[in-house]
Amino acid sequence: MIRRASWPRRWLGVLLGCGTALISLAYFLVTGIALGPFLLWPRTRPDALGILAGGAHRLAALERMRRSVFFGDLFPDAYETGDGKTLRFLLARCCAGLLCTVVVGLLGFGTVLAALLLGAAVRGTPAWTELLTQVLLGGVLLFLDVQGLASLAALDARLARACFGPSERELLQRRIDELATSRAAVVRAVDAERRRIERDLHDGVQQRLVALAMLLGRARRGRERDPRQADALLDQAHRQSQEVLTELREVAWRVYPSALDSVGLEEALGGVAERCAIPLRTEFAVAGPLPQPVSTAAYFVVSEAVTNAAKHSGATAVTVRVARLGPVLTVRIHDDGKGGADPAGTGLTGLLSRVAALDGLLHVDSPLGGPTTVTAELPCV
């Protein structure tokens, strides 16, 4: 992360970097000469490298302070830099700083020549053709000098980011690992959801349909012998068919709530409140439409958290708040239950995977004794 610093402060940091590069060069020359024999002997090489790296870490800390004070760079505090990486950084920084010293020296020398030329022009000493030639040549050299300083300053910044913070390659590799983990978790969550749906259909709806078929068969067989018993069986079959429809609707809602497409997230959460076994209060503060993946993830976060609260927490009330602050949708579910929710449990792990697939964050605060608060932050970009 970088905070902007003023240009005079940056130029002072560049000049100070020339001085630290000379200090680093002197350190490597003196220490290298002193430790040269020990670096060449394999038995003493590790200890000698440790001594060399110890001083390099101190000089690198000085470079880090220079970048922070004069350029406003912020580096991660917990990021550890190894001995080899520190030595490579300091060597590269030494070469870049020495080259920058040469460029700054040329710029100073050109400034002195420009002042002398200006004095001669005031006195009328040089001819106008000679003056024009020197001005054009000096302008080209000044342009190249300034461009060189800008390039060296950019190189200095890249070297500091590579040493004191994750490099672009490390960030890319970290992102690849996160995506691979998230993809594997989503696949596992989808498989678990499919198995749960299969169990719901097999153990619930299918068994009820088998019982309904048996009732209809008994009613058909007993229609001629005892019409009243047949009518009673038909009434029972009718009630059971309504229960099957209700259970099938519940399974369909758990797969994907059609209300998300037709009436939106707010109305879909109203359906969750109607089916909840305990009192549920919903606060919805979202202006404008939401991306479909975000609405789906928010719905399932609320649905799973409310279901867990009703089944396992012993809560008497649940509060759901959905609010959008800038590009982030925040979903917060709070219950007054006994707490102790396990973030590594199957349900919450599935929610974590669903939220992580959208680059979101899921936080579970559930101390023993309660209350439990589940908070999801979903980016809407």
- Could you give phi then psi for residue 52, rounded to 5 degrees? -65, -40
CB 147 within 8 A of CB 61: no
CB 15 within 8 A of CB 101: no
Structure tokens at 59: 């000089």
Domain assignment of residue 145, yes or no = yes
- Crossing angle of helices 7-40 and 128-164, in 10° steps, is 60
Structure tokens at 194: 């499919």
pLDDT at 2: 42
Domain assignment of residue 178, yes or no = no
79-93 pLDDT, tens digit each: 667 788 888 888 999
Which CATH number covers residue 320? 3.30.565.10
Domain assignment of residue 189, yes or no = no
Clarify whether residues 101 and 54 are in a common domain: yes
User: If you count them, how many residues does the chain have?
Assistant: 381
Confidence of residue 77 (pLDDT cuts 50, 70, 90): low
Clarify whether residues 361 and 235 are in a common domain: no
Among candidates 366, 280, 282, 379, which has minimal Cα distance to 322? Answer: 282
Asked, as a colleague might, if the bond just before 371 is cis with ω within 30 of 0, I would say: yes
Highest mean pLDDT among 110-124, 162-176, 257-271, 274-288: 274-288
Structure tokens at 220: 């058909």
Q: In one letter, which amino acid is 98?
A: L
* Cα–Cα dist 243/215, whole Å: 14
Clarify whether residues 205 and 300 are in a common domain: no
For residues 140-168, average pLDDT: 82
How far from each other are the two terminal CA atoms of the chain, in whole angstroms?
21
* Cα–Cα dist 244/247, whole Å: 5
Clarify whether residues 369 and 283 are in a common domain: yes
Print the domain residue range for 223: 195-255
135-150 pLDDT, tens digit each: 788 788 888 888 888 8
Confidence of residue 216 (pLDDT cuts 50, 70, 90): confident
Among candidates 312, 310, 305, which has minimal Cα distance to 333? Answer: 305
Lowest-pLDDT range of 19-23, 75-79, 376-380: 75-79
Clarify whether residues 11 and 158 are in a common domain: yes
- Among the candidates 255, 274, 302, a domain finishes at 255
Clarify whether residues 203 and 298 are in a common domain: no
Domain assignment of residue 176, yes or no = no
CB 63 within 8 A of CB 93: yes
Q: Which helix (H) or strand (E) holds 376?
A: strand 372-379
pLDDT at 1: 40
Report the mean per-residue pLDDT for the chain: 80
Number of domains composing the chain? 3
- Among the candidates 164, 185, 209, a domain finishes at 164
Clarify whether residues 247 and 329 are in a common domain: no
State pTM to two decimals. Answer: 0.48
For residues 165-183, average pLDDT: 70
Burial class (CB within 10 angstroms; exposed 0-12, middle 13-18, buried 19+) of 140:
exposed
Clarify whether residues 79 and 135 are in a common domain: yes
- Among the candidates 255, 277, 306, a domain finishes at 255
The fraction of the chain above a pLDDT of 90, given in percent, is 4
Clarify whether residues 99 and 149 are in a common domain: yes
Say whether 331 sits in a helix, a strand or coil: strand
Domain assignment of residue 190, yes or no = no
Q: In one letter, which amino acid is 130?
A: E
Give how far the C-alpha of residue 343 lies from the chain's centroid of Cα atoms, to the nearest Å. Answer: 19
Q: Which residues pair with 284 in a beta bridge?
A: 322
Domain assignment of residue 181, yes or no = no
Domain assignment of residue 59, yes or no = yes
For residues 153-174, average pLDDT: 77
Clarify whether residues 248 and 268 are in a common domain: no
49-73 pLDDT, tens digit each: 888 888 888 888 888 888 888 887 7
Clarify whether residues 136 and 16 are in a common domain: yes
Clarify whether residues 203 and 152 are in a common domain: no
311-329 pLDDT, tens digit each: 877 888 889 999 988 888 9
Domain assignment of residue 1, yes or no = no
- Could you give phi then psi for residue 223, rounded to 5 degrees? -65, -40
